[in-house]
């Protein structure tokens, strides 16, 4: 089905509200055998890989595994005109994240879709299998998500947000600064890493801006 067409119609209906999106794409670098790349299979099976999250935003050859591929993807996105905003290592070894946006309307999902294509194409050159699966490896590891930040023009105005605050365990999170300033954006932490960005942005607009309670 063409999810872009329905998303485009929703964005056109609310373009006077200038909906902005920032999408955080998490992913995992996998070997051809379906295990985490960088030869981590035996380390995981023998419990030699730390579960206490030293990898998130980590630095160093033993933590920031795969950074060369990540930075090539970042530079290629810039060259291609994709509105990429940054990258960081995530909670699991060889799990990474990049951010696309802020982008307005249908452009948000378009840019995100292209960023995924470029990532897959670059991984092909490295002989790496890219996984967007929400639970790419069994065990007590963090999931892999695609958190989506959203705001409208009215939300960005003073007193535009009325709501846990700074609660990373909530499905919907309002950053502390936005709570203090009573305006800004919220973060929808529900979308999984393999979500369709056209569906996610479409549903946010139809629910928040068009008040469609049965939006699907």
pTM above 0.85, yes or no: no
pLDDT score of 46? 46
Decide if pLDDT at 7 tops 80. yes
How many CB atoms neighbour CB 76 within 10 A?
Answer: 16
Decide if pLDDT at 180 tops 90. no
Pick the CATH number of 3-147+191-208 from 3.40.50.720, 3.40.50.12780, 3.90.1150.10, 3.30.590.10: 3.30.590.10
pLDDT score of 11? 97
10 Å CB burial of residue 86 (0-12, 13-18, 19+) is: exposed
- Lowest mean pLDDT of 1-5, 23-27, 43-47, 194-198, name the range: 43-47
Give the Cα separation of 135 and 9 in Å (integer).
33
Q: Where are the domains positioned within the chain?
A: 3-147+191-208
- Lowest mean pLDDT of 36-40, 90-94, 171-175, name the range: 36-40
Query: Cα torsion at 141, 146, 147, 151 (round to 10°)?
Result: 180
Model pLDDT for residues 130-157, shown as the tens digit of each residue: 889 988 777 777 788 999 999 999 989 9
Model pLDDT for residues 24-55, shown as the tens digit of each residue: 999 988 877 665 655 555 554 444 455 555 65
Q: Cα 164 to chain center, whole Å?
A: 20
Q: How confident is the model at residue 68 (pLDDT cuts 50, 70, 90)?
A: confident
Decide if pLDDT at 75 tops 80. yes
Decide if pLDDT at 9 tops 70. yes
């Amino acid at each position: 089905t063409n999810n872009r067409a329905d998303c485009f119609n929703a964005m056109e209906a609310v373009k006077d509200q200038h909906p902005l999106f920032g999408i955080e794409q998490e992913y995992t670098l996998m070997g051809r055998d379906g295990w985490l790349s960088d030869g981590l299979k035996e380390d995981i099976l023998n419990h030699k890989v730390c579960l206490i999250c030293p990898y998130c935003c980590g630095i160093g050859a033993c933590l920031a595994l795969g950074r060369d591929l990540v930075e090539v993807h970042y530079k290629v996105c810039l060259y291609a005109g994709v509105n990429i905003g940054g990258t960081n290592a995530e909670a699991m070894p060889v799990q990474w994240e990049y951010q696309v946006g802020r982008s307005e309307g249908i452009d948000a999902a378009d840019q995100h879709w292209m960023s995924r294509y470029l990532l897959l194409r670059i991984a092909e050159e490295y002989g790496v299998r890219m996984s967007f699966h929400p639970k790419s490896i069994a065990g007590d590891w963090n999931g892999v998500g695609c958190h989506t930040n959203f705001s409208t023009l009215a939300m960005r105005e003073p007193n535009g947000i009325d709501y846990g605050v700074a609660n990373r365990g909530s499905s919907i999170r309002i950053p502390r600064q936005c709570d203090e300033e009573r305006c800004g954006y919220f973060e929808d932490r529900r979308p999984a890493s393999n979500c369709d960005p056209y569906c996610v942005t479409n549903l946010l607009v139809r629910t928040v801006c068009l008040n469609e309670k049965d939006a699907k």
